Structure 1
Amino acid sequence: MDAIADKTTNQPVLDEARPSRTEAEAAVEVLLRWIGENPKREGLIDTPRRVVKAFEEIYGGYRQDPAAVLERTFEEVAGYDEMVLVRDIDFTSHCEHHMVPIIGRAHVAYLPEGRVLGLSKIARIVDIYARRLQTQEAMTEQVAAMIDGALTPRGVAVMIEAEHMCMSMRGIRTKGSSTVTTAFYGAFRNDAAQQARFTTLALKR
């Protein structure tokens, strides 16, 4: 039976708990009527189907296992033990409170302990967690914890900078403001110099 990854425990939620595609499309039609639209008019006839299809892509992270992405590591690193930093990883997520976009970029670093990851794997981990309903704080911690658990490096550092449309489009409407969150593990938490080095390199333009 297919499953969806649970966002907090990474344990699968069985598909039997999910509504059908037909039910999902009917829910979109209800929302269209609720906002005052006519779902039967020409421009909206296919909207429920399109929205559900778009949701499959936008929230595709629920159907991906981040641990599986990190299963393969490399040990032939020629003794390299300095920081590995992948910065400016663009992502779009959605706020779990209002389901509106979070648009940002992530900077992820680790200090190898004999093993390294393929660089694209780091970007994929960010993408998987971004494609779920999120808070920025939780996403920052999830990325750091997953890399730390899979690789057991000497340290992991994650910084996320993002603009939240729940602030820009509604409520206080502070367009252009950004939020910065960080997570530090191991040497990045315990060594102020390593933490400062990461921050300097991540924000260097």
Structure 2
Amino acid sequence: MKDHRSNAGELQHGRNVRRGHHRRKVRYLIVGGGEVTEKQYFLHLRKLFDVAIDYRWDHCDPSKLASLAVECKKNAAKDAGVDGYRAVWVVVDVDEYTASQLRLAQKTCQKAGMKLIISNPCFEVWLVDHIRLCPESHKGTKEVEELAKTLGITAGRNNKSIREDSIEGKLEAAKANALRHNSEQKAHWRQELADCHEQDFAPWTDMVDIINMIERG
């Protein structure tokens, strides 16, 4: 007579083996100030790269977003039931914020082992780069947002929703275009974040850093 306990043990062992071979997705945390556009874009990346991206948002200044990210990172580290984050990014626009707010956010990120991702003047610079080089003349939020709308990238209420079909398969083009307008001279002002020099590094986006790290895995 067959020992059912042995058979049950074999089945249990088999389940454990299968679980052991199941690939766990790499986890990233992104904390941003965009409730619609940025969230939709990072959900797009989650599907594109098959990774776990947790997106948290709040309508507050960059320094407070950085503090929120620190808390989220600490809470995740306390949870023994999940893997830790491979990287944590705080995604902000220059937009209406001051250089001092951005500097404080950058300092908080550096201290906590996170990275501040800036788009200047707004996140739509990165979206435009998927279709064409964001023009050097576009240093204000309204004109960049209007260009994104004209190119058919954004639609819906206040043109905040992304038409994903418009950017599909164009990630490499976006990276190339971003690197073209992210000049060495602008990089100086991006790192300094000096008062009254915000327009000296527009248009600009750090989004390439996120894409490169996710691609490396």
TM-score exceeds 0.5: no
Query: So what's the TM-score if we normalise by structure 1?
Result: 0.28
Higher helix share: 2
> Which structure dedicates a bigger proportion of its chain to strand?
1
Say which one has the larger Rg: 2
